[in-house]
Amino acid sequence: MMKNLTNIKMPSNEVIGEALEILLKGGLVAFPTETVYGLGADATSNTAISSIYHLKSRPKINPLICHVASKEMAYTYSVETNISNLLAYSFWPGPLTLILNQKKGSSISKLVTAELDSIAMRFPKNKVFEKIIRQLDKPIAAPSANISGNVSPTTPMHVFEEFNNKIELIIDGGETEKGIESTVVDARGRHPIILRHGPITTEMIESTIKGKVVLKTENNSIESPGQLLKHYSPGKKLIINSLEVEENSSFLGFKDIMPHNKFKGAALNLSVNGDLDEAAANLFKMIRILDKNNSKNIMVAPIPNNGVGVAINDKLKRAAQ
Ligand code: TXA
Ligand code: MG
């Protein structure tokens, strides 16, 4: 029989059992979610969480998201608010992370929260991941499954490209549906504050709470430590808001903004129909593809700055820094 070349496995009861065994002994498992792949560990284990930071080369000041399988599990460790109840009711399970106050005496590792008083909670929409959290009966802390600063993974092969066999098990959930990370909302106050833009848009949140959200400013950006760091960087230079392609570059188009017919280089289209959800789903995957050819730069067409386009532009801006 041919030997498995990778640790990527399709989900089955046996693989779920294997994942639980790894987690219980303090190991790491890569999980599919609806946003991007996560690198997960038992959120109450200092040694397991410490190996996540180590493997990703992640700065210790950048806290992790706790993944839960119910609102009740979230509120075992965090303090509910009116805003968190409304948002969890509307968007969980789904691509929304809520920042809440942590309960006193909580058993979550202090490394997960980077010693902040707050904690990030998310109920992901993925049946396999949900089942594993439920059976572990504890939150699973999981950052995106990439080396810190790199482009986030949206397929199991991306995770393998980042870590090779350093992760014992990568669960194959195919390509992720949303393609970009969850929206992060501080839900502690009277008005929600968006700390990271994502698939749940400002408009969606405002229509749910029937009120205004506060957008993160440069002044309160310290509230989400990870947002201060360089991020989503491909190896090549990214040139955003490009209407035309230059020679020696690859092009990432949108709708009808694509290179002229004579262009010999590589060009991909985020969404021929101009659908922003489709563009988000394709974003990291296409950047990874164009990063691999021998062009010098990746030029990217302008993306409309509404709906999920706000999150796409935010990621492009960081990647182009
Ligand atoms: O979609 C996602 O959110 C993916 C999947 C795997 O769930 N996860 C993800 O994790 O993107 P990560 O570690 O790449 O990003 C987590 C973000 C960081 O910007 C971090 O600073 C912020 O959440 N965060 C975590 N805990 C926080 C806290 N207590 N207060 C403010 N921001 C926090
Ligand atoms: Mg990340």
pLDDT of residue 214: 76
Q: How far is the CA of 65 from the centre of ligand 1 (A)?
A: 5
pLDDT of residue 221: 47
In angstroms, the CA 75 to CA 17 distance is 26
Residues of the chain predicted below pLDDT 70 = 1-5, 216-232
pLDDT of residue 230: 64
Ligand 1 atom nearest 37 alpha carbon: 6
Ligand with minimal distance to 233 CA: 2
Query: Among 57, 103, 144, which residue has the most ligand 1 atoms within 8 Å of its CB, making it the best to mutate?
Result: 144
Domain 8-215 classification at class level: alpha beta
Q: How would you class 205 by CB atoms within 10 Å of its CB: exposed for 0-12, middle for 13-18, buried for 19 or more?
A: buried
Instruction: Find, among 46, 58, 65, 23, the residue nearest to 107 by Cα.
Output: 46
Strands (DSSP E) contained in 172-279 are 183-186, 193-196, 214-215, 237-239, 249-253, 267-269
Q: Start-end ranges of CATH 3.40.50.11030 in the chain?
A: 237-319
- Measured in whole angstroms, the distance separating CA 50 from the mean position of its chain's CA atoms is 19
Query: Among 181, 220, 221, 314, which residue has the most ligand 1 atoms within 8 Å of its CB, making it the best to mutate?
Result: 181
Q: How far is the CA of 256 from the centre of ligand 1 (A)?
A: 34
Q: Start-end ranges of CATH 3.90.870.10 in the chain?
A: 8-215
Ligand with minimal distance to 59 CA: 1
Domain 237-319 is found in CATH 3.40.50.11030: yes
Contact residues of ligand 1, CB 6 A cut-off? 33, 35-36, 38, 62-65, 95, 97, 99, 113, 116, 118-120, 122, 124, 142-144, 181-182, 184, 195-196, 223-227
